[in-house]
A and B are shown apart, each in its own frame.
Chain A
Amino acid sequence: MGWVIFLFLSILCVGSVAAMIISRNQAHNALFLVLAFASLGGIFGLLDAPFVAVVQVIIYAGAIMVLFLFAIMMINLNEGLPPERKKIVYVISAVLAAVLAAELLVVARQAFLPPVQIAAPGSGNPAGIGRLLFTGYLYPFEITSLLLIAALIGAMTLSGKKESS
C-alpha cells in the first residue's frame, strides 16, 4: 500500500515539474509547481514528518506560490516567452544534468538508507519538533525570526518609493 501511494505521489510530482519545464505560460508554470509542492507534502508525510508536511503545504504551496502568482499578475505579460533559440543550451543542460545525476547516484549508493516503514509518527510530531526547536536549536530559531524581519523590511524598502530615474 505504501508503495502505491509513494509511486502515485512521485509520478505526480515529477510530472508536474516536467510540465512546468515544458509549459510556456508563466501562470501555468506556477500552478504546476503548486501541484508539485503539494504532492511533495504528501511524500513528506510518508517519511514520518507530519509537521513538516503540513508546513510544506501551507507555506510553500500556499504562501510562496501565491506570492509568485501575485508577482506574475503584476508583471502581466501577455504572451509566453519562446523557448531557448540556441539548441546548444538544451544539450549542455542535458549533459550537465546527466553528470550531476550520475554523481549523486553514486553518492546515494553509498548512503545507508534502511527500508522505510510507514509507521505511526514517532518524534516527527509537532511536540517532538517543538522540543528540539526550543532547546537545542533555539539560537537558529531566533536568528531565523530575525531573518524574516530583515526580509520583510527589505521587501518593503525595495518596493517603497518609485525610482526617480
Chain B
Amino acid sequence: MIPGQAFFILAIILFVLGVVAFFVKRDLLTQFMAVEVMLNAGNLAFLALAKASGRAEAQVIVFFVLTVAAAEAVVGMAIVLHVFRRKKTVRTEDASELKG
C-alpha cells in the first residue's frame, strides 16, 4: 500500500533537482543531462496518474515522450559536437552570440 502521493512527491523532487542541476552546472552536456532528468520526472508523474485513473492512455503518452526525448538527444548531441568543434569548449557561458 504505497500512497499515490508518494510517487508524485518523488517526481517533484526529481524535477526540482533537475532544475537545480541545470543552473549549477556550467557545461552544455551536463545541462542536457539535467533536462533528461526533468523529462523523466514528468514521465513518472504521468505513470502515477495512469495508475490512479486505471487507464493506460498515460502510458502511451510516456511512450511518446520517451521517443521524442531520444530524438531530441540525438540532435542535441550533434549540436553540442558542433559547438565544441567551433569553440573548442563546452562551457555554456562562452556561447553568447545571441547577446543583445
Which A residues are closer than 8 A to B by beta carbons?
2-3, 6, 10, 13-14, 17-18, 20-21, 26, 29-30, 33, 36-37, 40, 43-44, 46-49, 51-52, 55-56, 59-60, 63-64, 67-68, 70-72, 74-75, 77, 81-84, 89-90, 92-94, 96-97, 100-101, 104-105, 108-109, 111-118, 122-124, 128-129, 132-133, 136-137, 140, 144, 147-148, 150-152, 154-155, 158-159, 162-163
Do A26 and B29 have beta carbons less than 8 Å apart?
Answer: yes
Which A residue sits closest to B32, measured CB to CB?
A: A68
- Report how far A59 CA is from B66 CA in the complex, Å: 8
Q: Check if B17 is an interface residue, CB within 8 A of chain A.
A: yes
Do B24 and A93 have beta carbons less than 8 Å apart?
Answer: yes
A-B residue pairs in contact (CB < 8 Å), sample of 10:
A10-B10, A26-B27, A44-B44, A49-B50, A71-B81, A77-B27, A93-B20, A132-B56, A137-B64, A158-B79
Which A residue sits closest to B22, measured CB to CB?
A: A93
Do B52 and A43 have beta carbons less than 8 Å apart?
Answer: no
Which B residues are closer than 8 A to A by beta carbons?
1-10, 12-21, 23-27, 29-30, 32-33, 36-37, 40, 43-44, 47-52, 54-57, 59-60, 62-64, 66-75, 77-82, 84-86, 90-91
Question: What 3 A-B pairs are tightest by C-beta distance, nearest first?
Answer: A113-B4, A151-B71, A93-B23
A-B contact count (CB 8 A): 233
Do B51 and A116 have beta carbons less than 8 Å apart?
Answer: yes
Chain A residues lying within 8 Å of B16, measured Cβ to Cβ, are: 97, 100-101, 104
Chain B residues lying within 8 Å of A68, measured Cβ to Cβ, are: 29, 32-33, 73, 77
- Report how far A137 CA is from B63 CA in the complex, Å: 11
- Report how far A33 CA is from B30 CA in the complex, Å: 10
- Report how far A87 CA is from B76 CA in the complex, Å: 29
Do B81 and A56 have beta carbons less than 8 Å apart?
Answer: no
Do B52 and A114 have beta carbons less than 8 Å apart?
Answer: yes
Chain B residues lying within 8 Å of A74, measured Cβ to Cβ, are: 81, 84
Chain B residues lying within 8 Å of A97, measured Cβ to Cβ, are: 16-17, 19-20
- Report how far A64 CA is from B49 CA in the complex, Å: 25
Do B62 and A52 have beta carbons less than 8 Å apart?
Answer: yes
Query: Which listed residue (B3, B14, B19, B72) contacts A13, Cβ 8 A?
Result: B14
